[in-house]
Amino acid sequence: MASQEIETLTAQLARLPGLGPRSARRAVLWLLKRRDTALSALVEALDAVREGLVECETCGNVDTSQPCGICADPRRDARSLCVVEEVADLWALDRSRLFAGRYHVLGGRLSALDGVGPEDLSIAALLGRVAAGGIDEVVLAMNATLEGQTTAHYIAERLEGSPVRVTQLAHGLPVGGELDYLDEGTLAQALRARRPVS
């Protein structure tokens, strides 16, 4: 039997997505054997993120600066805006390094079933950013799920009449595919072959 402290740590790690109790125990043992190196580094990293964590008021990204590193980066093309459902999608797309513009995180997708309406997502903020001008293209990078596509259509409709080109990821995306789970090649291809919303 491990001490209460170790049990608590194991239980906390076991709550992480992708980890169960078994993997959590293995991770804890691994960390305990590397108390001075990996464990200390992990504690420091967690602490730094906890202290500095903020949601970007512009795009909804999660970072340790306000605005986030992407919004603040002058090398980013401010004329191109990529709309995603979740922060995880933003990170997945950004890892592909093929999109040089900025992002807008909706915070979910429209879902009649779950009672999620337009007012529950940051759609008004998105329309505001577009209305403020300076944006040429809005890329709708919703997941290839029914709800994702419903959300994309809704936003495309709301942007009708705006002087922006509205495109969406090519449907090389597997049906039901969530961006976060795609390999970078597939994601890059979907982004490269993006097409106007019809």
Residues that bind Zn ion (CB under 5 A): 56, 58-59, 61, 67-68, 71
CB of 132 to Zn ion, least distance (A): 15
Q: Could you tell me if 65 and 159 are in contact, meaning their C-beta atoms sit under 8 angstroms apart? A: no
Residues listed for the chain? 198
Coil/strand/helix, residue 143 = coil
**Strand ranges of the sheet holding 101-105, from the earlier edge strand across to the other edge:** 101-105, 77-84, 137-140, 165-168, 195-196
- What minimum distance in Å lies between the beta carbon of 125 and Zn ion? 11
Element (H, E) at 126: helix 123-131
Could you tell me the sign of the dihedral formed by the alpha carbons of 97, 83, 88, 65, in that order?
A: positive
CA dist list (Å): 17 to 10, 12, 13: 14, 11, 9
- SS3 state at 13: helix
CB of 78 to Zn ion, least distance (A): 11
Rounded to whole angstroms, the Cα distance separating 169 from 195 reads 7
Between 68 and 130, name the residue whose CB sits nearer to Zn ion. 68
Quick one: 76 or 158, whose CB is closer to Zn ion? 76
Whose Cβ is closer to Zn ion: residue 6's or residue 70's?
A: 70
CB closer to Zn ion out of 69 and 117: 69
Q: How far is the CB of 48 from Zn ion (least distance, A)?
A: 19
CB 71 to Zn ion: min, Å: 3
Q: In angstroms, what is the minimal distance from the CB of 82 to Zn ion?
A: 12
Residue nearer to Zn ion on the CB measure, 61 or 80: 61
Looking at the Cβ atoms of 25 and 104, the one nearer to Zn ion is 104
Taking phi over 0 as left and psi of -120 to 50 as alpha, with beta for the rest, 134 belongs to: left
